[in-house]
Amino acid sequence: MLQDFIAQNEKETRAGFGEGIHEAAKKNPNVMALTADLAGSLKLNAFIKDFPERFVQVGIAEANMIGIAAGLTIGGKIPYTTTFANFSTSRVYDQIRQSVAYSGKNVKICASHAGLTLGEDGATHQVLEDVGMMRMLPHMTVIVPCDFNQTKAATMAIADYEGPVYLRFGRVKWPNFTAENGSDFVIGKAQVMNEGTDVSIIACGHLVWNALEAARALEAKGISCDVINMHTIKPLDEAAIIKSLTKTGCVVTAEEHQINGGLGDAVANVASRNCPVPHEYVAVQDTFGESGKPADLLKKYGLTTEDVIAAAEKAMKRK
């Protein structure tokens, strides 16, 4: 199955969001877009051109944006809030908890420029704690798609999904390799990209491509890899995790996030309750990022294909 995933091109996942919200708005007149002074960065130009009456420019007032979005849901609207992931979570966590999650409001919190691959803007903007923060909130669905196509599909899918959603995506151009029509994306259902018997590799976001590349290199060495794209962190596809770990007996999780609180911890929770196995994390090791080129930052902080390979080999030795 690894040969089925080939990079068709390189595109920004945020551009997938821009196309997705435009398509969602065509299909559903209740879809609205709100932004905190970042319409261009969130690729909202097509939406604004075709649906100006459904666009709200809040300005640099993220907390106010969340409050407005919560209010709009009372009238049946489906508001998508848009800003950088750091400002979508850390800056407005109280408003999300109190006004959105607590009452289960149908707000879609769409967060761009997540992780280290934001690049030169540096540590103040490279949020690495957001998945942990959002998955802890009751009622919150957390989705981290892996490429342009899947981000577009997820953006469209959440319009028909009742309840608050956190959708996380990025700035950098990245290999685009999933189905163009989004047929391989279902909220809450893991995408199994390869069947293997020696090691499970479970990844989300940009690190799914690195996981695929690592699996190709490992299979060239005779190591058989289960590769799972866990694009939905909550609700988590526990059945897929248990099935994979029971078969392989060890696991690597890979994510552009802190080692604490993210995908790795979510998988570890399932494993500890059902099928404890050796587990290696490919994640940021409890530190802030810094300014730099995305590829250089991924290398420095241990999130490359080579790091996934090393983690897989280490996990296998621990069996």
- Tell me which residues are annotated as active site: 62
Those residues with Cβ within 8 angstroms of residue 84's Cβ, 6 or more apart along the chain or in another chain: 38, 41, 111, 112, 113, 114, 118, 125, 127
Q: What is the rounded CA–CA span in Å between residue 204 and residue 231?
A: 5
Those residues with Cβ within 8 angstroms of residue 134's Cβ, 6 or more apart along the chain or in another chain: 89, 96, 109, 140, 142, 166, 234
Cβ(63)–Cβ(92) under 8 Å?
yes
Per the structure block, which two tokens stand in for 140?
């919150």
Residue 18 is which amino acid? G
The count of C-alpha atoms lying within 13 angstroms of the C-alpha of 115, restricted to the half-sphere facing its C-beta, is 30
Q: Is 83 exposed, middle or buried (0-12, 13-18, 19+ CB in 10 A)?
A: buried
Mark residue 182 as left, alpha or beta (left: phi above 0; alpha: psi -120 to 50; beta: remaining). left
Per the structure block, which two tokens stand in for 218?
């490992």
Using alpha carbons, list the distances in angstroms from residue 39 to 46, 59, 79, 81, 117: 10, 10, 15, 11, 20
Cβ(192)–Cβ(228) under 8 Å?
yes
Residue 115 is which amino acid? G
- Among 300, 316, 77, which residue's Cα sits nearest to residue 218? 316
